[in-house]
Amino acid sequence: MKDVLTAPFLAELVRTCTNMYAHGWDERNGGNISMLLNASDVAEYLDLKMVLRALPTGFRAETLDGKYFLVTGTGKYFKNVQYDPAANLGIVRLTDGGQTAELLWGYSDGGKFTSEFPAHMMSHAARLAVDPENHVVMHCHPNNLLAMTYVHDLDEKAFTRTLWQMETECIVVFPEGVNVLPWMLCGTNEIGEATAEKMKTARLVVWAQHGIYGAGRDLDETFGLIETAEKAAEVYLKIAHLPWKNTITDEQLHQLEKRFGVNAREGYLK
Ligand SMILES: [Zn+2]
């Protein structure tokens, strides 16, 4: 059995936490990541029959039954993950239709999965239904996207169109746009269900006055989605209060669609 600390999936997740903290997206214990793992990959490092603890989840997620996830811990600081992965991360297997998370490794100080576990698992289920290759769900508090939710209309079409106009590559990176939830109490099954519903039509879901959820096939794709939307929001905040002399027009956005072979969200362009 190999040492799980040498597993590429674990090393990459640790690097991602460190990078997100460096971007200022994950102050204190802000932010959380969950990554779907292949059972055969986990079996190289852990005895799958050795369950350390059985943790109740408080929700059902039938389609995720038997699946393995690497998940950041509740109350843990992203800045510390690199120094003690075993205390800050855990590998769990969902059973009982998602109602129990069997801990196979991690949370070594007696901790458990992130308080946003419902939103993560429900989002995985929603994304897997539209993309069987989806592996990652990521939540964080990027400054500019957060700020934008205070001054911009929260209508999804309007919010998306503004981001697309702020940087040429946006429509190529997230042609389906971003979905937006109004402020809701976090950590609940309700916000989990609402996020998952929004995840059916987009990989990015903004939580107004809180942060963002991203989903993707791997850590790079998911990080890159958030990074691109956050950059666009930064440009918006730099110019929102100034008179605009230019923008990226719908005609130009159509040109980008054609050039890069992407389809903008139906009805979002004239
Ligand atoms: Zn948060």
**203-255 tens-digit pLDDT:** 999 999 999 999 999 999 999 999 999 999 999 999 999 999 999 999 999 99
Amino acid letter, 121: M
Residue 189 CA to ligand 1 center (angstroms) comes to 14
Instruction: Choose the catalytic residue: 116, 167, 227, 230.
Output: 116
Is 116 annotated in the active site?
Answer: yes
Strand partners, 69: 36, 92
| 15-45 per-position pLDDT tens digit | 999 999 999 999 999 999 999 999 999 999 9
Amino acid letter, 96: D
In this structure, what DSSP letter does residue 96 have?
A: G
- The number of helices, as runs of H, and strands, as runs of E, in the chain is 11, 9
pLDDT of residue 35: 98
Residue 106 CA to ligand 1 center (angstroms) comes to 22
Do the Cβ atoms of 16 and 219 come closer than 8 Å? yes
pLDDT of residue 49: 98
Give backbone dihedrals phi and psi of 101, rounded to 5 degrees, phi first: -110, 115
| 171-199 per-position pLDDT tens digit | 999 999 999 999 999 999 999 999 999 99
Bridge-based pairing of strands 68-72 and 136-140 is unpaired
Distance of CA 231 to the CA centre of its chain: 16
| 5-21 per-position pLDDT tens digit | 999 999 999 999 999 99
Q: What percent of the chain has pLDDT over 90?
A: 100
Mean pLDDT of the chain: 98
pLDDT of residue 134: 98
Residue 107 CA to ligand 1 center (angstroms) comes to 20
Provide mean pLDDT across the span 61-87: 98
Judge residue 223's burial from the number of C-beta atoms within 10 Å of its C-beta, 0-12 exposed, 13-18 middle, 19 or more buried: buried
| 103-137 per-position pLDDT tens digit | 999 999 999 999 999 999 999 999 999 999 999 99
Residue 210 CA to ligand 1 center (angstroms) comes to 6
Residue 69 CA to ligand 1 center (angstroms) comes to 19
Residue 119 CA to ligand 1 center (angstroms) comes to 11
Residue 116 CA to ligand 1 center (angstroms) comes to 8
pTM score of the predicted model: 0.97
H or E element that contains 14:
helix 8-22
Which SS3 state, helix, strand or coil, does residue 141 take?
coil
